Chains A and B, each alone.
Chain A
């Protein structure tokens, strides 16, 4: 589903690429950034300093990984909460962009994407915990 959304956005983006509706293009860049980073959370492809996985045996890396994923989930949840408050504010003030398109519609992707990212990190944290507690089942 995320794939489909990304595709549509890109397609619109390409067809609009030459009409220099500058603001619109910039908004698309923002959307692409957010959608793509949801996808990056899902595929575990965020940029990291990747020392552990290269140099420490999987067994020992598990505990740190649980902490790290939990941390990421919490940070994203905080970001989601505060950006949601921001979106509410823009609804209240009836901010608009692109002449008179309500800003909150464009901005609401922000909390949404952080919620999804938080959910992803929580999931992978959970699966690490499960693997740590019941190593045999995870192997299957």
Chain B
């Protein structure tokens, strides 16, 4: 008990999470009289998880994309296609960010790569400043539920469910979030109905032509994944190789000598995620052996009987969790424990996954430690309290959509029933 409290204090003081997890697993093993060599075996378990190679590959591809001029081309293309609508630029921002986040793995690069283009453009177009700040901050994690985002892949790996099906389950809930946010943006700017420009086939054509090298990417990758033609790890390898060839060898927007630095930068994130995964394998095994999920289950069944109230409890729990833990650590640590509990309440695995990720997406925006808030504050040079308040209305909209996703399982499961 004292040991756990000490660990929690250390975690709040900012000890690397993997050391906290490793310490608690070692403590548990020690108490059970298991040789601590087992730690090494568990960490080596990383080498036996399927599909994991997708994570470094997609991360690398995402960093390459965000360092090239692809964000500019993406914004231009979306403006050409959506800009004619009233409030067009806000919609452009949402759509472009969702797409970009899905491809770059929800690690905050969207705000840096796309926000830097969109934020000044929104301002120039006469949108209120707080709205812009909130919109850009929120958009940074918007594509989370669309393939091939990293949290989806990690969830599939950890929960041992089909990643392809999980991708399919995420489509409609992701669209719901987009639609609600778009509706809100249009409503806020109902007095500023200025379209970005009139629709012109010429502009669409030239924007398409400019993006000709990147265009096959979503078609091949998304088509391949959603149709089940590619395994996720294969899609990741294809994406990384293709992006590398296009951005480095054909367009030459990234110089060869920048490459090692870029690789290192992208792998820092991967290392951070995977080492937590490794030590969590140990702690999770210990907790499952010790029957922790059953204990939690026994405890909550005393108070909670229906699935609906269980889901609500889960929602509150995930909000708190998301506010203190980043999404990757949360998946690795918590998913193995709540899976058996949720199954007892008859929650579908895929539905649970989408609910989990959608709720954790809020965590990017919830004070005190939401990642997007800090990135936006840093990137746009605004006080953190200002970012909190600007993002708040968007947070409410997203909360509503998470509740909708939660109590409407059909939305997640629709595309699965074939």
Contact = CB atoms under 8 A, between A and B. Distances in A.
Assign chain A's interface to a size class.
35 or more
B44 A48 contact: no
A49 interface: yes
Interface stretch (B34-42, B89-97, B299-307): B34-42
Contacts of B39: 79, 82-83
Interface stretch (B167-175, B202-210, B265-273, B395-403): B265-273
Contacts of B47: 26-27, 29-30
Given A65-B13, A82-B36, A55 B18 contact: no
B264 A71 contact: no
B241 interface: yes
B233 to A, nearest CB: 8
Interface in A55-82: 55, 64-65, 67-68, 71-72, 75-76, 78-79, 82
B417 interface: no
A139 B277 CA distance: 38
B46 A47 contact: no
A33 B271 contact: yes
Contacts of B369: 49-51, 54
Contacts of B275: 33-34, 37, 40, 46
Contacts of B328: 47
Contacts, number: 176
A71 B56 contact: no
A129 interface: no
Contact of B48 (A26, A64, A72, A85): A26
A68 B270 contact: no
Contacts of A48: 11, 14-17
A7 B258 CA distance: 12
A13 B41 CA distance: 23
Interface of B: 10-19, 22-23, 26, 36-37, 39-41, 43-44, 46-49, 52-53, 55-57, 60, 233, 237, 240-241, 244, 260, 263-264, 267-278, 324-326, 328-329, 368-369, 374, 384
